[in-house]
Structure 1
Amino acid sequence: MLRIFLTIKLFNIICSIYFFKKVGGQLKIKLTSFFLLLICTIYYSVYVEPTSIRTKHLIFSDNRLNSNTTIKLIQISDTHFNNKKDIERFKKVIKNINQMKPDFILFTGDLVSDIRKFSYKNEVIRLLKELNPKIGKLAIYGNHDHGGYFTEQYEELLTESNFILLKNEEKTYYVQKQKVSFIGLDDYMLGNKQYNDILDRIQKNSYTVVLAHEPDIADLTKTYPINLQLSGHSHGGQIYLPLYKSFIMPPYAKKYNRGVYTLSSKYNSHLVVSNGIGTTKLPIRLFTPPEIVSIEITGQNKK
């Protein structure tokens, strides 16, 4: 409906340009240029950027891993499935991810915008099953995954899709004989916020990745010997202007809202905040393209 409304508004704007006959020449040129720019911007933000999914490539290294070790992670976040078009678009995401042959696929929450209005659960399960990493698929709750009485359904859906759902839990793997731990925190807004018990168990000899939907939790996690925190939630603001930054950020994504941050030089820890794939409230994006995040972790220890 919003797309139809915006299309009508675009038509009205175009028509209004022809009513500038009594306006002076220079002003008419300026107004016409302004309206044309506005039309192009609206069209791009509604029809182009939301479907232009990019892959962001990042590399981190750490001395907790041997120098001959390379671990490949893929982070996807905030799919916010709403309709059949979202399902079809995600097929390209799956193809791109599987071609990269990651060791792990990590989902950082907000699968569906509103489960009460969503009727494609079986299609989502089928698609998520097609994601095929070498080692494992892990996920956490986002605020939308708890909302609308979705908590239990979300767990069932992910389990059927062969994902391991971490709720203030840790999952440890040995990759190329190196210990790698994933800690999944429950959603801060609607879940269980008792994080200290699981964070207190972090071992300094293990490369540790924390999955936390809301990025501002990093002010807590950076006090622990973690290596990497992966978050979403903010969508990068959906609308981002270089001079004004993002107009609206959700709660707990005010301080850290897009891109990569260094959290602690002591622990060599970083935070990655994904723009996510879907949208909420308004189906628009401007200078905040949807993204898959590809992360390569390499070792520095030459022992």
Structure 2
Amino acid sequence: MSLVNILMIIAVFLLYNLLLFYIGWNIRVWLRNTFGFKKKWPILLAMLFLGYSFVFGRFTGEVEIINIIGSYWMGVIQYSLLLFPIANLVVFVVKKFTSLSKHSIVTWAGYTLLICFVGIFAYGTYNAFTPVVRSYDIKVDKQVKGTDDLRVVMASDMHFGIMSGKGHAKRMVKEIKQLDPDMVLYVGDIIDDDPTPFIDKKIDNDLAQIKAPLGTFAVLGNHEYYGGKIPEFVEKLEDIDIHVLRDEVAELDNGITLIGRKDKTDTERKPVKELVDNVNQNNALFMLDHQPYELRKAENNGIDLVVSGHTHRGQLAPNHLITKFIYENDWGYLQKEDMHSIVSSGFGFWGPPLRLGSQAEIVEINIKFSN
């Protein structure tokens, strides 16, 4: 590890602990002012446990309660960064320009913050576990044997594991079966790093209930790579007829060709041009690429439809402003000449089981072909 990387790690560690101190100090001031609670050690220990609960959860593995606390704490951190400075500023301004007592101002500022956090977490949890179906209608100027239209259902970023568990998987299965798709596409981050919870909870048995006449296909996302158990996970998917494409092409009998890319995480993944070199360009070309990069390259190589995920649309507002800046298409639909790009905000979530500014979603794509 280089000296620069070591210094960056130290800097992040120090900044994070300063943030924990800032949050703990605010909580202590409010508790002391409102309830007369003056002890420091309970708050210090609580902040250390909460602050590193996500790390503890990664090491304890099977202790789900620690993983749950750690995941929610990540949401607390984000909105503490946004709300605590505002609360501090309001207290300062009101104290300076009104005759209200400091005790009264701090008390009500604390209660207001508490209500805000409860509202954010309640609404965010609802959005995370209450999926919607988003439909897009597109036209592809190519012919497909036996039909003029096709219903494709796409889901991404399920992050099945401890937090996005069997119950959430059952919701997805129910929604997809009701849509009665001709084809199902999963575009990466199906699991949250380690496939062990996915296997132990038998989530593969739930996914096996989804059947589509033209098949179910998948690509891997960055989190499958982080887990380091790709062969084991891919075998589970193949066992239930989910065909995983890793820089591979699947040509269907009806004139549709699926091109599945390895994730951008894989430094050895093939360029788009190499993948399409030997495909029939008269076929309808659908590309599965977890991260919505290289849309221009897909367009230049004759791809008709690119489906992606990864962005979560920021998952927690106002992070969507960041993803909108980074990606040409961070969520929803974009057409570039004859190529269509559709990016899902994802069915699951990473970290806190919260969504603000986005909602858990399944994507339905209704495709009209030339006569």
Contact 1:277 1:291 survives alignment (8 Å)? yes
Aligned in 2, Cα 1:8/1:61: closer, same or farther, shift over 3 Å? closer
More strand by share: 1
Contact 1:239 1:247 survives alignment (8 Å)? no
Q: Who is 1:238 aligned against?
A: 315
CA distance in structure 1 between the aligned counterparts of 2:216 and 2:161, rounded to whole angstroms:
23
Query: What SS does the aligned partner of 2:142 have?
Result: strand
Unaligned stretches of 5+ residues in structure 1: 14-19
Unaligned stretches of 5+ residues in structure 2: 1-68, 85-94
Which of 260, 266, 288 lines up with 1:190 in the alignment? 266
Determine if the alignment matches structure 1 residue 254 to structure 2 residue 327: yes
Query: What SS does the aligned partner of 2:253 have?
Result: strand
Aligned in 2, Cα 1:114/1:8: closer, same or farther, shift over 3 Å? closer
Which of 109, 115, 132 lines up with 1:54 in the alignment? 132
Which of 207, 210, 213 lines up with 2:284 in the alignment? 207
Q: Who is 1:100 aligned against?
A: 179
Determine if the alignment matches structure 1 residue 287 to structure 2 residue 357: yes
- 1:132-180 Cα offsets, whole Å, 9 max, x none, are 11220111111111223222112211111211111111112234xxx11
Q: Who is 1:121 aligned against?
A: 199
Which of 296, 309, 330 lines up with 1:219 in the alignment? 296
Q: Give, as a single letter, the amino acid of the residue that structure 2 aligns with 1:298.
A: K
Aligned in 2, Cα 1:107/1:38: closer, same or farther, shift over 3 Å? same
**Displacement of 1:50 after TM fit?**
0.7
Query: What SS does the aligned partner of 1:296 have?
Result: strand
- 1:180-210 Cα offsets, whole Å, 9 max, x none, are 1111011111253212321223433111100
CA distance in structure 2 between the aligned counterparts of 1:253 and 1:192, rounded to whole angstroms:
23
Q: Give, as a single letter, the amino acid of the residue that structure 1 aligns with 2:334.
A: Y
**Displacement of 1:271 after TM fit?**
0.6
Q: How many residues align?
A: 282
Query: What SS does the aligned partner of 2:234 have?
Result: helix
Contact 1:202 1:225 survives alignment (8 Å)? no
Contact 1:228 1:269 survives alignment (8 Å)? yes
Aligned in 2, Cα 1:7/1:188: closer, same or farther, shift over 3 Å? closer
Query: What SS does the aligned partner of 1:272 have?
Result: strand
Aligned in 2, Cα 1:165/1:253: closer, same or farther, shift over 3 Å? farther
**Displacement of 1:84 after TM fit?**
6.9
Q: Who is 1:17 aligned against?
A: none
More helix by share: 2
CA distance in structure 1 between the aligned counterparts of 2:183 and 2:226, rounded to whole angstroms:
27
Query: What SS does the aligned partner of 1:240 have?
Result: coil
Contact 2:160 2:169 survives alignment (8 Å)? no
TM-score by length of 2: 0.67
Q: Percent identity?
A: 21
Aligned in 2, Cα 1:145/1:85: closer, same or farther, shift over 3 Å? closer
**Displacement of 1:57 after TM fit?**
0.7
**Aligned-CA RMSD value:** 3.4
Contact 1:233 1:253 survives alignment (8 Å)? no
CA distance in structure 2 between the aligned counterparts of 1:253 and 1:121, rounded to whole angstroms:
34
Structure of greater relative contact order (alpha carbons < 8 Å, 6+ residues apart): 1
Q: Who is 1:181 aligned against?
A: 257
Query: What SS does the aligned partner of 1:201 have?
Result: coil
Contact 1:53 1:290 survives alignment (8 Å)? yes
Q: Give, as a single letter, the amino acid of the residue that structure 1 aligns with 2:329.
A: Y
Aligned in 2, Cα 1:27/1:280: closer, same or farther, shift over 3 Å? closer
Contact 1:68 1:298 survives alignment (8 Å)? no
Determine if the alignment matches structure 1 residue 155 to structure 2 residue 225: no
